[in-house]
Structure 1
Amino acid sequence: MKQLTDFTGQDSSVYESGTFKTKQNGIWKRGSAYLRIALYQATVAGISKQIHGPRNPILRKYYQQKCQEGKPTKLAIVATSNKPSRMIFGILSSSIPFQDNQQ
């Protein structure tokens, strides 16, 4: 799973030097930029509010959970954009069709 996160370029960067540790960490810009952008845009579309509820209730619930933990909006979106890649990996590795049991 770590290799998939590395490939998508959404693993967090940690900058440390001696006793210095930064408080603002971003994501590494290595890996596939196209895949990273596609996952980000799909996540933003999935968590957006619609008339009849969010387009993807699983992503919306995870995004709201991250926001309630005190994460800034963009950080919560990046954390949520890791969720579809984990879901796709689970579906492909188990060969079991996806079923949304939350509704």
Structure 2
Amino acid sequence: MNPIIGLDVSKGENHDQAFFDKNKPFNKTFRFTHTTEGLLTLLDVLKSLEVESGLRPAIIQEATVHYHLSASGIS
């Protein structure tokens, strides 16, 4: 098993999907806003996936505008 969460960044919110493994979705797609409440939603999904899979999920974010750059500005 290779749990993962894919983040699709949009203006003001994310549209996301969690997977137990390749082609094995964990629940339905979900959204969260770029707020504290929204990040708590993401945290809930992360914790649920970790409990169900027994492994800490990886998070992958699409390369959108500047979000994929490191803090130093080097991609």
When the two structures are superposed, what TM-score results if normalisation uses the length of structure 1?
Answer: 0.28
Give the structure-2-normalised TM-score.
0.34
Higher helix share: 1
- Structure number having the greater strand percentage: 2
Q: Which has the larger radius of gyration?
A: 1
